[in-house]
Structure 1
Amino acid sequence: MDRRDFLSVAAFAPLTLSATATATATSTAASTATAGRASAPRRRGPDWGRLRDRLSGTLVLPADTGYDRARRLYNPAYDGIRPAAVAYCATPADVSACLGFVRSAGVPVTARSGGHSYAGWSTGTGLVIDVSRMSAVAYANGRATVGAGARLIDVYDGLARRGVSIPAGSCPTVGVAGLTLGGGIGVVSRRYGLTCDALESVRVVTADGRVLACDADRNADLYWACRGGGGGNFGVAVSFTFRAHPTRDVTVFFLHWPWAKTGDAVRAWQSWAPQAPDELWSALHLTNGPRGMDVQVGGLYLGAPAALDRLLAPLVSAVGAPSSRYARQVPYQRAMMIMAGCSSLSLAQCRNMGRETFSAKSHMAYGKLGGGGVRALVDAVGRKGRHAVLLDALGGAVARVGGAETAFPHRAALFSVQYYAEGTSRTWLRATHAAMAPHWGDHAYVNYVDPDLAGWRGAYYGANAARLARVKSAYDPSRLFRLPQGV
């Protein structure tokens, strides 16, 4: 009954990167001319010891114990990438010191929070600035202040003790920073908005080492960009202040139908889910996995089971009686554990869920599929392999924010679409994405960053791309922060 229980870890042989260098004499004469000449002095590498002395956190180098763990991301597909160093920053001053060091040493830099970048762009071959030690979660007077290194399960847990929460996603180990900076689609978004909609202020260390407080009045353009403009573009976020909402018991539900009902389920869900009351969020999963073909609608309702039954009735009437049905009222924090795939795990086990080798692509769906689109989607999932299509309902509070009010442009989308495949092959993903492009266009979600994507600026940011470029020029004119798909 878990949201993510269709996933299983595929066997994977880590990628390896190697480099060889050879040198040969160009001629006997050249060899003779250089005989006995002292070798040119070798260029000294970065003085990592100097950086280590400036940090209150920890600098991990390739020869250090713990390096192999320090360099890993959530996805083992990127295990072959070997950073020159990983800095576990304990304070914003540590981040400033790291940025000063890379500017003077000419070392590439990458920021990392949870390490969940779909393209592996939360690591690199230079210095990785890891903010995971800045993970405190505090609450006062209706506001939650969260360190950029906090992971989602700990945000939910810390705030649950105060009877509050923020709108956020379902993956328990994703970093709150990346989630927020890219927008933040989550399981109560239709009622409370995206994660970035609840963001009231953010502290960012910019390329020149300044620690800036950003909100609607201070550095307002950078604040705007941090609400959907994507992580790793404008600086290193170190803390966030969110508007929190009170929590109560909620109802989680999962409905399954036989595969023969998949077309009916797609047609009915895409009309029903985005138009449901704000308190009802749902997702449609079409899965070809280890247990065969499956169609599931799961979700969360901010109310009691009896009222949920009435809201589900139109969907069930259109699709037919489900082959299995589960609905239970549970405390809010328990619901977040269920949606995270941690229903049978302790909090500690949920924090340490296994890594997964996967690839993904996305669409943002602004319109419903016609008959041809439904057939194309069902046929794609039915092809041989282990893969899934995940549709998460939008609308509600998400749609009531203007497309230019934050950097997240997809306010009119009915739902997000994620194409997910086990392993590292992108063959099925590319074919399926191409098959659905005539129906869903070229809109995509930056938090499902896609290294294949052509026209990614328009796909991720739409009409907001030009303004984001101006913010980039203002705060990082020398482009210290460089992503392959960087603003």
Structure 2
Amino acid sequence: MDRRDFLRAATLAPMLGLVSAPPALASFAPPALASAAPDWAGLRRRLTGTLVRPADAGYDAARRLFNPAFDGIRPGGVAYCASPADVSACLSFVRSNRLPVTARSGGHSYAGWSTGTGLVIDVSRMKSVTYAGGRATVGAGAKLVDVYDKLGRHGVSIPAGSCPTVGVSGLALGGGIGVVSRKYGLTCDTLESVQIVTADGRLLTCDANQHPDLYWACRGGGGGNFGVAVSFTFRTHKTSGITVFFLHWPWRKAGAAVKAWQSWAPTAPDELWSTLHLSNDNGLDVQIGGTYLGGKAALDRLLAPLVAAIGTPSSRYATATSYQHAMMVMAGCSSLSVAQCHLPGQTAAGRLSRDTFAAKSHLAYRKLSADGIRALAAGVARAGRHTVQLDALGGAVARVRPEATAFPHRAALFGVQYYSKGTGRTWLRGIHADMRPHLGDHAYVNYIDPDLTDWRSAYYGANAPRLAAVKAAYDPSRIFHLPQGV
């Protein structure tokens, strides 16, 4: 059994005074309206990378995101940037021509906002991963499977997610909940510096001492808001043996599983991360799995109270393995090579497939009551193909102050993702509304949700005003403009 079998669809898966405007940017005025058609040929000549236009042979492949639901969107051009200078040239082009611009790393935006009708700046060719002295320097276009693989050769890693084709940029900029977060924190918690091309075309290195306000915003403020990130430097952790586990119960145990898991998972030792899935996909299922940074015997002892509270599982799988192989298991690629664990077109051997889905989220700051548990189980039991995923937080995530990074949800016990196959949102809206009285209005920006109206508060909480000030300082003309843009 691997994570694809287990999760089925989861491979889809302040103060204003602290902010100062950078020199020569606070007075940056919007360009005059273009007097002629955009000179796309001129942009092509300026790039060391590749510009793909609608008449070009590779256009249909270039414009696609991970989710086929957005295949109808036709950008004016897709620029595969090979360097920060390429990104700067693209931003000059869109400023001069008053074109919409969108940054794209892995193309996994849940709302399709890593594409648009103007110019898509694709950073996937800036994908190098290097390691020295406990630090990893990772190009913004690197996919998670490659980050794990290349760092694993040095016996180190960074805390990150499970979907292998997600780009590191979007993950880190939105926070980065992952499969070892309880031990090592969010992806953004290990981010020591980021290089970003801002709206005026400058390449800035941002860290605790240089442009610290922008550095702060890049740790949870969401991708596509403040500039185009091109490189990240992360603090790494050493890797060793790890145990992966999957347990399954019949549907009649759904309520007992939620009740037991929500008390057990967020307070377990930091080394233990787990996820609970209630699924309705060709049958109703209750599944719990995760990772443990230790041996199988110790894991069995930690699982004992959970199993006692729920009952004997109908199936149980746990195995000790290498860290790198565990990440492949969680990616749904346990039987594939790293080269195969990509979409076709990303590598010559890529064997993964795109997936049509829609999703919404909550972050749970308190345990669900009995009524909340019943509402959740009843929502999953409705007709359709859908899953609710609960991911444990706590541990290292909770030991960072909510205002220390732009990601505010440090006190959350677990994250909740509602996932539906296909493009329909009726079931999603229904279960989200049913759970709102029990979970409130907190949401995760990396599961961006076009239905939300009070999204600023939901994603950013008390950090929203400071993020708005950073936006005003570094992109006063709102060159980067998303429907839910800061």
Do these two structures clear the TM 0.5 threshold for a shared fold by scoring above it? yes
- Name the % identity: 75
Residue in 2 that maps onto 1:314: 305
- How far 1:8 sits from its partner (Å)? 6.1
- How far 1:454 sits from its partner (Å)? 1.7
CA offsets 1:376-432 (integer angstroms, 9 cap, x no match): 000000011000000000000000000000000000000000000000000000000
- How far 1:343 sits from its partner (Å)? 1.3
RMSD: 1.1
Residue in 1 that maps onto 2:15: none
Residue in 1 that maps onto 2:8: 7
Matched, 1:345 2:336: yes
Residue in 2 that maps onto 1:117: 109
- How far 1:43 sits from its partner (Å)? 6.9
- Name the SS of the counterpart of 1:347 in structure 2: coil
Q: Judge which range, 148-157 or 42-51, deviates more.
A: 42-51
Q: Give the 5 Å matches for 1:329-368.
A: 329-352=320-343, 353-368=352-367
Q: Which runs of 4+ in 1 moved over 2 A?
A: 1-9
- Counterpart-to-counterpart distance in 2, 1:107 and 1:296: 46
Q: Provide closer, same or farther for how the CA distance between residues 315 and 8 of structure 1 changes in structure 2, counting only shifts above 3 A.
A: closer
Residue in 1 that maps onto 2:66: 74
Residue in 2 that maps onto 1:34: none
CA offsets 1:137-171 (integer angstroms, 9 cap, x no match): 00000000000000000000010100000000000
Residue in 2 that maps onto 1:433: 432
Q: Give the 5 Å matches for 1:37-436.
A: 44-290=36-282, 292-352=283-343, 353-436=352-435
- Name the SS of the counterpart of 1:389 in structure 2: strand
Letter paired with 1:90 = A
Letter paired with 1:362 = S
- Counterpart-to-counterpart distance in 1, 2:83 and 2:392: 37
Letter paired with 1:467 = R
- How far 1:347 sits from its partner (Å)? 1.5
- How far 1:44 sits from its partner (Å)? 3.8
Residue in 1 that maps onto 2:459: 460
- How far 1:349 sits from its partner (Å)? 1.7
Gap runs ≥5 in structure 1: 10-41
- Counterpart-to-counterpart distance in 1, 2:204 and 2:245: 43
- Name the SS of the counterpart of 1:350 in structure 2: coil
- Name the SS of the counterpart of 1:177 in structure 2: helix
- Counterpart-to-counterpart distance in 2, 1:349 and 1:435: 40
- Counterpart-to-counterpart distance in 2, 1:454 and 1:101: 32
- Name the SS of the counterpart of 1:204 in structure 2: strand
- How far 1:220 sits from its partner (Å)? 0.2
Larger Rg: 1 or 2? 1
- Name the SS of the counterpart of 1:373 in structure 2: helix
- How far 1:3 sits from its partner (Å)? 2.8
- Counterpart-to-counterpart distance in 1, 2:339 and 2:227: 31
Gap runs ≥5 in structure 2: 11-33, 344-351
- How far 1:249 sits from its partner (Å)? 1.2
Instruction: Indicate the structure whose relative CO is greater, using CA pairs within 8 Å and at least 6 residues apart.
Output: 2
Letter paired with 1:247 = T
TM-score for both structures, normalised by structure 1: 0.92
- Name the SS of the counterpart of 1:253 in structure 2: strand
